[in-house]
């Protein structure tokens, strides 16, 4: 099974917006407080991913077919670390290792300090990130419980080493 991660271009914006709609709807189920964007039109950063140099949009394909997307911020955008801002694998492509292979490709391309947040209720995602980080990063992530305006989240901090 071939998983491919490619830089999304402006012409891919509609594909990302479609996937973002499904992602935000799904994510809304995990929020303890119903605030925040629930579709791509109300998501405030979509256009910034196609205009700001520190924001990097990616399309994920499995055997050539669209299987998800990732929105990544680099240290020039966050000020400190790399961040997985949004990450989504379409339901029909799940539990096949697509997410794991895709994030591994991204981490290998951009080694360094990484951070991401998961809603506390999103237990599948927390398991996914913990298992990917333990397999690919240097040691287990540092896990911090934080209160945000949409409820409890876990923040995961970890380091990805450069490989040759
Ligand atoms: C979380 C998500 C990205 C996982 O993608 P995926 O391609 O299905 O994950 P993989 O098949 O690569 O799974 C890798 C490992 O993660 C863990 N994992 C993945 N999904 C899991 C689930 N639903 N329940 C428990 N563990 C899970 C397993 O350890 C799995 O390995 P295994 O299948 O050999 O047991 C996907 O379910 C998704 O897009 N969910 C909705 C959006 C979301 O929550 N995004 C993250 C926001 S922080």
Residue-by-residue pLDDT tens, the chain, 164 positions: 699 999 999 999 999 999 999 999 999 999 999 998 999 999 999 999 999 999 999 999 999 999 999 999 999 999 999 999 999 999 999 999 999 999 999 999 999 999 999 999 999 999 999 999 999 887 889 999 999 999 999 999 999 998 86
Strands 112-119 and 151-160: antiparallel
What is the rounded CA–CA span in Å between residue 56 and residue 27? 21
Task: Return the CATH architecture of domain 3-160.
Answer: 3-Layer(aba) Sandwich (3.40)
Name the closest-CA residue to atom 10, ligand 1. 97
**Which residues, 6+ apart, have CB-to-CB distance to 95 below 8 Å?**
none
Q: Scanning the structure block, which residue is given the tokens 């973002």?
A: 20
Q: Is any atom of ligand 1 closer than 6 Å to the C-beta of 20?
A: no
Q: Is the pTM of this model over 0.75?
A: yes
What's the CA-to-centroid distance between 163 and ligand 1, angstroms?
A: 24
Name the closest-CA residue to atom 18, ligand 1. 128
Name the closest-CA residue to atom 47, ligand 1. 87
Q: Where are the alpha helices (DSSP H) in 29-149?
A: 75-78, 98-109, 123-136
- Which atom of ligand 1 lies closest to the CA of 68? 39
Q: Is any atom of ligand 1 closer than 6 Å to the C-beta of 118?
A: yes
Q: Is any atom of ligand 1 closer than 6 Å to the C-beta of 131?
A: yes
């Amino acid at each position: 099974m071939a998983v491919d991660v490619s830089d999304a271009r402006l012409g891919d914006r509609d594909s990302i917006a479609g996937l973002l709609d499904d992602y935000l709807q799904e994510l809304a189920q995990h929020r303890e407080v119903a605030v925040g964007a629930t579709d791509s039109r109300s998501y405030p950063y979509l256009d910034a991913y196609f205009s700001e140099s520190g924001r990097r949009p990616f399309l994920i394909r499995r055997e050539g077919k669209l299987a998800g997307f990732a929105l990544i911020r680099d240290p020039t955008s966050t000020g400190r670390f790399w961040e997985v801002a949004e990450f989504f694998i379409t339901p029909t492509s799940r539990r096949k290792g697509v997410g794991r292979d895709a994030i591994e490709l991204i981490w290998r391309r951009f080694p360094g300090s990484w951070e991401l947040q998961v809603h506390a209720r999103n237990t599948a995602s927390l398991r996914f990130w913990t298992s990917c980080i333990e397999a690919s990063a240097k040691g287990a992530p540092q896990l911090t419980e934080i209160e945000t305006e949409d409820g409890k989240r876990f923040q995961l901090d970890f380091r990805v080493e450069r490989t040759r």
